[in-house]
Amino acid sequence: EIFAAIEAYFSEKRDFSGKKVLVTAGATRERIDDVRYLTNRSTGKMGYAVAAAAARRGAEVTLVSGITGLPAPKGVNRITAESAEDMFQEVTRRFDEMDLVVKAAAVADYTPASPMVGKMKKGGDFALELVRTKDILAELGARKERQVLVGFAAESAELERYARDKLRRKNLDLIAANDISRQDIGFASDENCLHLYFADGRSVQIEKCEKEQAAERLLDYAAELLEQKGRQS
């Protein structure tokens, strides 16, 4: 057992040693009033698994997380961002110093135009005015220099088309797409199945597995991309 533990320790990859990695995770909350909010089904598990794995592999990891019930992974600097606007601020101000950014958070696309202070009193039916939030990935893609930028796409149909389109529009290096029409993987599940699409046209599928394993595989590809960029510069 002791030998197995020692062996496991030394065989662990430390391929992110010296790298600064920023991971986003979880859902944002968009306030309607002091009680009610808009959110989505992301629980943060996938992003937390990526952050934990990157830390184990030697990276200096910052995890910008929506409010979740998850404990902060060991050795990770966690920053909580409640809303899409909070997340935009926390991510963009740290971007320049990063080597790798993995945007696993499910950031709200829309937020109430006029959130209320206090608790809205009930009345008749009404229409809640929603406005677009800032597009964090597009902002990072536009500012990207040496960074490797990895995004996620949750799609219920035409996975490849939408994912490749998002990869291109947002100037990503890699996008990990998952099919949310499947009940057995993805949101709130411990397992995931990821379709990876690369900027150079390649694609790879990570078969259904624990999110911890999917995170390790995703980082294997991110490490390759980091190495390629290192050689180019």
Give the active site residues: 40
Interacting positions 181-220 with a copy of itself (CB under 8 A): 181, 187
Looking at 36-44, 71-79, 86-94, 194-202, which segment touches a copy of itself (CB under 8 A)?
A: 36-44
Stretch of residues binding a copy of itself (CB under 8 A), selected from 104-112, 142-150, 192-200, 206-214:
104-112
Stretch that binds a copy of itself, among 9-17, 105-113, 196-204, 221-229 (CB under 8 A): 105-113
**93 lies in the binding site for a copy of itself (CB under 8 A):** no
- Separation CA 78–CA 75 (nearest Å): 9
| Cα distance between residue 126 and residue 61, in whole Å | 44
The reply to whether 128 sits near a copy of itself by the rule CB under 8 A is yes
Q: Which of 12, 17, 41, 228 binds a copy of itself (CB under 8 A)?
A: 41
Q: 43: which 2 tokens?
A: 């629980």
Q: Does 127 bind a copy of itself (CB under 8 A)?
A: yes
Candidate segments 52-60, 92-100, 124-132, 199-207, binder of a copy of itself by CB under 8 A: 124-132
**179 contact partners, CB below 8 Å, separation of at least 6:** 155, 156, 159, 185, 186, 193, 195
Q: What residues from 163 to 182 belong to the interface with a copy of itself (CB under 8 A)?
A: 180-181
119 binds a copy of itself per the rule CB under 8 A: yes
Q: What interhelical angle do 159-169 and 136-143 show, nearest 10?
A: 50
Asked if 60 and 21 touch (Cβ cutoff 8 Å), the reply is yes
- CA 103 to CA 17: how far, in whole Å? 20
Q: Is 114 in the site for a copy of itself (CB under 8 A)?
A: no
Angle CA(116)–CA(129)–CA(27) in degrees, nearest 5? 75
Answer yes or no whether residue 4 interacts with a copy of itself by CB under 8 A: no
DSSP H or E stretch at residue 80: strand 76-80
**What backbone phi and psi angles, to 5 degrees, belong to 227?**
-65, -45
Contact 98, 32 (CB under 8 A): no
Determine, following the binding rule CB under 8 A, whether residue 106 of this chain makes contact with a copy of itself.
yes
CB 64 within 8 A of CB 93: no
Find the shortest distance in angstroms from Cβ 95 to a copy of itself: 22
Q: Nearest approach, Cβ of 3 to a copy of itself (angstroms)?
A: 38
Contact footprint for a copy of itself (CB under 8 A) = 32, 34-41, 69, 106, 108-110, 113, 118-119, 122, 124-132, 154-157, 180-181, 187
